[in-house]
A and B are shown apart, each in its own frame.
Chain A
Amino acid sequence: KQEVTQIPAALSVPEGENLVLNCSFTDSAIYNLQWFRQDPGKGLTSLLLIQSSQREQTSGRLNASLDKSSGRSTLYIAASQPGDSATYLCAVIGNKLVFGAGTILRVKS
Chain B
Amino acid sequence: DTGVSQNPRHKITKRGQNVTFRCDPISEHNRLYWYRQTLGQGPEFLTYFQNEAQLEKSRLLSDRFSAERPKGSFSTLEIQRTEQGDSAMYLCASSSGGGGTGSEKLFFGSGTQLSVL
Contact = CB atoms under 8 A, between A and B. Distances in A.
Given A42-B111, A97-B33, A32 B44 contact: no
B102 A97 contact: yes
Contacts of A97: 33, 45, 102, 106
A18 interface: no
Interface string B72-92: 000000000000000001010
Interface in A84-103: 89, 91, 93-102
Contacts, number: 62
Interface in A48-66: 49, 51
Interface residues of B, number: 26
Given A89-B42, A101-B41, A96 B110 contact: no
Interface of B: 4, 6, 33, 40-45, 48, 56, 89, 91, 93, 100-103, 105-111, 113
Interface of A: 4, 30-32, 34, 36, 41-46, 49, 51, 89, 91, 93-102
